[in-house]
Structure 1
Amino acid sequence: MDNTCYLSIRITALLMSWASLSISLVSYHKSLRYSRKEKKNLSLLATPVYFIWRACEVGARLLCLSFFVTAFQAWIFLPVLLHWVAVTIWIIKQNTKFYDNRCFETIFNIICGYVMIFCFLNLREGHTRFRYLWFYIVFYFENFFMLGIWWQAIPLGDWYDFYGFILIFILSVLHIIVQLIYYKFSHPSKIDICLPWNRNLCYESVCHSLDEDEKQMKKPHHLDQQVVVNNG
Structure 2
Amino acid sequence: MAAKSDGAAAAAVCVEDANPPRCLSGPGSPAAGPRRRPGSSPAAAAGEPHSAADCCWLLCALLVFFSDGATDLWLAADYYLRGGYWWFGLTLVFVAVPSAVVQVLSFRWFVYDYSDFSRGDGAVAGWSAGGSRRCCIVCMWVFQTALHVLQLGQVWRYVHALYLGAQSRWGAGGAGRHLHWRLMFECADITMLRLLEAFLKSAPQLVLQLSIIIHQNTVLPLQGLSTSASLVSLAWMVASYQKVLRDSREDKLSMSYKAVVAQMLWHFFTIGARTVAFALFASVFQLYFGIFIVSHWCVMTFWIIQGETDFCMSKWEEIIYNMVVGIIYIFCWFNVKEGPSRFRMTIYYTLTLVENVALTVAWYAYRGPHTSDFYALLVVCMVACSFALGTFFMLLYYCLLHPDGPVLGSHWGGCVDDGEGVGGGVAGVIDACITPSQGSQTPGGSEPAITSPPRTLPRTRETGDPVPGEREKESCLPIFQVRPSPSSSPALLHRTPSSRVQEGPVIRIDLPRKRYPAWDAHFIDRRLRKAILVLETTSPISPRIQYRSSMMGSKEVLEYETTV
TM-score bracket relative to the smaller structure: 0.7 to 0.9
Say which structure is richer in helix: 1
Report SS of the residue matched to 2:304.
Answer: helix
CA contact (8 A) 2:304 2:322 kept: yes
Q: Does 1:80 align with 2:293?
A: yes
CA offsets per residue over residues 7-40 of structure 1, 9 Å max, x none?
1221122111111111111111111111211111
The equivalent residue for 1:208 is none
Q: 2:277 aligns with which of 64, 70, 89?
A: 64
Residue correspondence of structure 1 range 90-129 to structure 2 within 5 A: 90-129=303-342
Residue 44 (structure 1) shift: 2.6
Distance 1:166 1:47, change over 3 A: same
The equivalent residue for 1:179 is 394
| Distance in 2 between residues matched to 1:22 and 1:82, nearest whole Å | 24
Residue correspondence of structure 1 range 139-178 to structure 2 within 5 A: 139-154=352-367, 156-157=371-372, 161-178=376-393
Residue 194 (structure 1) shift: 5.8
CA contact (8 A) 2:296 2:330 kept: yes
| Distance in 2 between residues matched to 1:149 and 1:195, nearest whole Å | 41
Residue 165 (structure 1) shift: 2.0
| Distance in 1 between residues matched to 2:287 and 2:323, nearest whole Å | 22
Q: Does 1:39 align with 2:247?
A: no
Largest Rg, 1 or 2: 2
**90-99 or 40-49, which deviates more:** 40-49
Q: Does 1:27 align with 2:240?
A: yes
Q: Which amino acid aligns with 1:163?
A: L
Give the alignment's TM-score, normalised by structure 1: 0.77
Q: Which amino acid aligns with 2:380?
A: F
Give the alignment's TM-score, normalised by structure 2: 0.33
Distance 1:36 1:12, change over 3 A: same
| Distance in 1 between residues matched to 2:403 and 2:393, nearest whole Å | 15
Q: Which amino acid aligns with 2:346?
A: L
Q: Which runs of 5+ in 2 are unaligned?
A: 1-77, 83-218, 412-564
| Distance in 2 between residues matched to 1:102 and 1:45, nearest whole Å | 37
CA contact (8 A) 2:400 2:406 kept: no
| Distance in 2 between residues matched to 1:195 and 1:55, nearest whole Å | 28
Q: Which runs of 5+ in 1 are unaligned?
A: 197-232
Q: Does 1:7 align with 2:220?
A: yes
Say which structure is richer in strand: 2
Distance 1:26 1:192, change over 3 A: closer
Distance 1:195 1:152, change over 3 A: farther
CA offsets per residue over residues 19-66 of structure 1, 9 Å max, x none?
111111111111111121111122132121111101011101100000
Q: Which amino acid aligns with 1:169?
A: A
Q: Which amino acid aligns with 1:192?
A: V
Q: Which amino acid aligns with 1:166?
A: C
Residue 149 (structure 1) shift: 0.9
Higher relative contact order at CA 8 Å, sep ≥6: structure 1 or structure 2?
Answer: 1
Residue 162 (structure 1) shift: 4.0
Residue 161 (structure 1) shift: 4.1
Residue correspondence of structure 1 range 130-145 to structure 2 within 5 A: 130-145=343-358
The equivalent residue for 1:228 is none
| Distance in 2 between residues matched to 1:166 and 1:32, nearest whole Å | 36
Residue 157 (structure 1) shift: 2.0
Residue 99 (structure 1) shift: 2.1
The equivalent residue for 2:405 is 190
- Number of residue equivalences: 195
| Distance in 2 between residues matched to 1:32 and 1:159, nearest whole Å | 45
CA contact (8 A) 2:301 2:323 kept: yes
Residue 150 (structure 1) shift: 0.9
| Distance in 1 between residues matched to 2:357 and 2:259, nearest whole Å | 29
| % identical aligned pairs | 28
Report SS of the residue matched to 1:124.
Answer: coil
| Distance in 2 between residues matched to 1:152 and 1:160, nearest whole Å | 13
Distance 1:37 1:137, change over 3 A: same
CA offsets per residue over residues 169-215 of structure 1, 9 Å max, x none?
1111111111111110010111331689xxxxxxxxxxxxxxxxxxx
| Distance in 2 between residues matched to 1:162 and 1:183, nearest whole Å | 32
Q: Which amino acid aligns with 1:116?
A: Y
RMSD: 2.4
Residue 82 (structure 1) shift: 1.4
| Distance in 2 between residues matched to 1:135 and 1:86, nearest whole Å | 11
